[in-house]
Homo-oligomer: A and B are copies of this chain.
Amino acid sequence: MGMVVQKYGGTSVGSLEKIAAVAGKVAKRYREGNSVVVVVSAMSGETDRLIGLARRLSPKPDVREMDVLVSTGEQVTISLLAMSLKDLGVPARSLLAHQINIVTDNAYTKARIVHVELEMIRKVLDSGEVAVVAGFQGVTEGRDVTTLGRGGSDTSAVAMAAVLNADVCEIYTDVDGVYTCDPNICEKARRLDKISYDEMLEMASLGAKVLQTRSVEFAKKYNVPILVKSAFSDEGGTLTTTEDKDMEKEVVSGVTYDRNEARITLLGLQDRPGIAASVFTALAEENINVDMIIQNSSADGKFADLSFTVTKTDYDKALEMVRKMLPDLGARDVVGDTSVAKISIVGVGMRSHAGVASRMFEALSGVGINIIMISTSEIKVSCVIDEKFMELGVRVLHEAFELEKEKQ
């Protein structure tokens, strides 16, 4: 008799047959005596189809309306899944964000959940029904529809699990867990049974597309165990949970990459306090996330070069913004490069093991890969390199840290 939140992604509900199969899986958990909340994404391809409609109609679709549009994808799935559950004799009820008050801020297309009302969802579960919740969507205080950005259904699921204090949040997807590396790039990749929130957070933010970053932040904050599993198999699975001793045995848990990086460099910037801040404030106001930042001062300390990375999607906009700011910044020029990629190693073991970064740099230089930018945190080291060496770099690092072997 537990409280279970399950989330099924787009490929898991990609056809009517698959929706019926998901209904079967949900029914099983329900009949075991659990209270079940199911969070679903749009059928695979549907969100892109809707975005395509908007793009063909409008050169720059209004973001408020974009959210009204794309949120229909999840609405279709919840209704179909609820129908299918009822056909199996399982009482079920589809719920839109505004019906259970998944309240977000006003940042259309990438809104953040501010609050989830417990009362509404409780009432549904207490009546013995399976709650079939539309992922990806929220509602503002002013009752506008919002969406949570790509992968937002993960966050919807974790938010439901958090507010309900669920025993587990099961994320069903098209992979059977989190790997030491993308198996498409590195055939020796190994599935991890367990991973800490912090590692998962780094891996998600570094480009491993298993979970939306924000969902892991949420899970960590509210201590929600996330089990990532395949929707099509009962085997495998990776549990993301609080750090334990086992995890520290591994110096590095995984290697990740991100192709969606672009570099922008401001040349000959006047090295005055507040100059860099003004750039990043302006970008933040336009909701452009900056990832890595590096500044080099000239020998005389008067001028500096400032490099930072943004997603390739935001690149054009960011470059244009910075170019307009050039006079105010007193910078000489701005240049950009989209043919870069980021590769990273992640592991809580780094905290207690020295020399991890240098081992990484050596491994890369050993095969002639030049490192353009470096950024480190307590549990990860990232390098920006030439995009064409990305796959090679990933495989080299996987081997250097012996990730194919399970540590005992």
Contacts and interface: CB of A to CB of B under 8 A. Distances in A.
A143 B99 contact: yes
A78 interface: yes
Interface in A39-57: 50, 53-54, 56-57
A222 to B, nearest CB: 26
User: How big is the A interface, by class?
Assistant: 35 or more
A65 B84 CA distance: 10
Contact of A68 (B53, B62, B75, B143): B75
Taken together, the copies of this chain in the complex come to 2
Nearest to A120: B143
A96 B97 CA distance: 13
Contact of A59 (B79, B87, B143, B145): B87
Given A57-B16, A98-B98, A98-B143, A75 B72 contact: yes
A342 to B, nearest CB: 34
Given A65-B94, A68-B96, A58 B75 contact: no
Interface string A80-117: 10111011000001101011000000000000000000
A103 to B, nearest CB: 14
A76 B69 contact: yes
A16 B53 contact: yes
A195 interface: no
A260 B353 CA distance: 79
Given A69-B76, A76-B72, A83 B96 contact: no
Q: Interface centre among A78, A80, A99, A144, by most B CB within 10 Å?
A: A80
Contact of A57 (B72, B83, B145): B83
A66 interface: yes
A19 interface: yes
29 contacts: A19-B57, A20-B57, A53-B80, A54-B79, A54-B80, A54-B83, A57-B83, A57-B84, A58-B84, A59-B87, A61-B83, A62-B86, A64-B94, A65-B80, A65-B82, A65-B83, A65-B86, A66-B79, A66-B83, A68-B78, A68-B79, A68-B96, A69-B80, A69-B83, A71-B75, A72-B75, A75-B75, A98-B143, A99-B143
